[in-house]
């Protein structure tokens, strides 16, 4: 066997190992995202059919010191009644999922270190700049939801004006996950849109405890 042929074989083997490692890292990240998703969706979801009762206005006083009383008990009762009705409603709530993952930004990386500063974590140096397409069949969710790709619906704010044969309840998505070196801590970007001027985005801090991934906190960074 010539030296040149040996070099080619070794190079091919090393390339194969490298590609396999990258695939393993990506598959691990996908498995974490899929595990977190049911809790994430429940956390960011807002049912626009259920408007919360308005807060009572501050009591005002006339010159004769007669206070204006505000009885919110009726509103609360109506709110609870409507909530109970919706919980029994079998209508599927369609959630549009942005087709591919967002990019993670530098702010999220810095916030990850700061949020878990007591654990003195270090960022994983794996390149996560490239997005990947989300597979809806891998995302578990509550029975009340039905998932669709965002690309199946009209672009921009026209999405909220569409005449559908289903109830569009909201739009969500998530970014790549920035892990620490031990892959026990991470952060991702997510949010929820429920109308033209209804929604938020934020940082989702996650951690692995006893072999299971949990959401420690969702820090809201923008509201519309």
pLDDT in tens, 8-45: 555 555 555 555 555 589 999 999 999 999 999 999 99
Asked whether the predicted pLDDT for residue 49 surpasses 90, the reply is no
Beta pairing partners, 178: 187
Residue 81 Ramachandran class (φ > 0 left, ψ -120 to 50 alpha, else beta):
alpha
pLDDT in tens, 95-142: 999 999 999 999 999 999 999 999 999 999 999 999 999 999 999 999
Question: CB-based contacts of 34: which residues, under 8 Å, 6+ apart?
Answer: 138, 139, 140
**216 is written with which tokens?**
């420690």
Antiparallel, parallel or unpaired: β 178-179 and 93-97: unpaired
Spatial CA neighbour of 173 closest among 149, 152, 208, 197: 149
**143 is written with which tokens?**
């029975």
**118 is written with which tokens?**
């007591």
Neighbours of 87 (CB within 10 A): 10
Residue 169 in contact with residue 47, Cβ under 8 Å?
A: yes
DSSP letter at 52 equals: P
Q: Band the pLDDT of 77: cuts 50, 70, 90.
A: confident
**What is the CA 37 to chain-centroid distance, rounded?**
7
Spatial CA neighbour of 188 closest among 119, 123, 115, 104: 104
Q: Please count the residues of the chain.
A: 224
> In Å, what is the CA distance from 157 to each residue of 24, 153, 166?
38, 10, 18
pTM of the model: 0.79
* Rounded Cα distance, 208 and 212, in Å: 5
């Amino acid at each position: 066997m010539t030296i040149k042929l040996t070099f080619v074989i070794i190079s091919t083997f090393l390339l194969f190992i490298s590609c396999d490692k990258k695939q393993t890292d990506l598959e691990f990240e996908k498995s974490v995202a899929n595990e977190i998703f049911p809790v994430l969706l429940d956390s960011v979801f807002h049912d626009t059919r259920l408007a919360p009762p308005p807060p009572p206005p501050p009591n005002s006083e006339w010159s004769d010191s007669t206070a204006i009383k505000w009885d919110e008990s009726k509103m609360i009762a109506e709110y609870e009644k409507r909530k109970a009705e919706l919980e029994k409603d079998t209508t599927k709530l369609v959630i549009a999922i942005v087709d591919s993952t967002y990019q993670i930004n530098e702010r999220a990386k810095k916030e990850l270190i700061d949020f878990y500063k007591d654990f003195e974590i270090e960022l994983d140096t794996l390149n996560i700049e490239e997005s990947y397409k989300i597979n809806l069949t891998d995302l578990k969710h509550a029975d009340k939801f039905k998932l669709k790709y965002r690309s199946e619906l009209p672009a921009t704010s026209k999405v909220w004006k569409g005449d559908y044969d289903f109830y569009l309840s909201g739009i969500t998505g998530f970014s790549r996950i920035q892990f620490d070196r031990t892959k026990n801590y991470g952060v991702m970007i997510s949010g929820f849109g429920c109308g033209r001027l209804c929604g938020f985005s934020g940082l989702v801090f996650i951690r692995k405890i006893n072999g299971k991934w949990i959401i420690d906190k969702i820090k809201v960074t923008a509201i519309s």
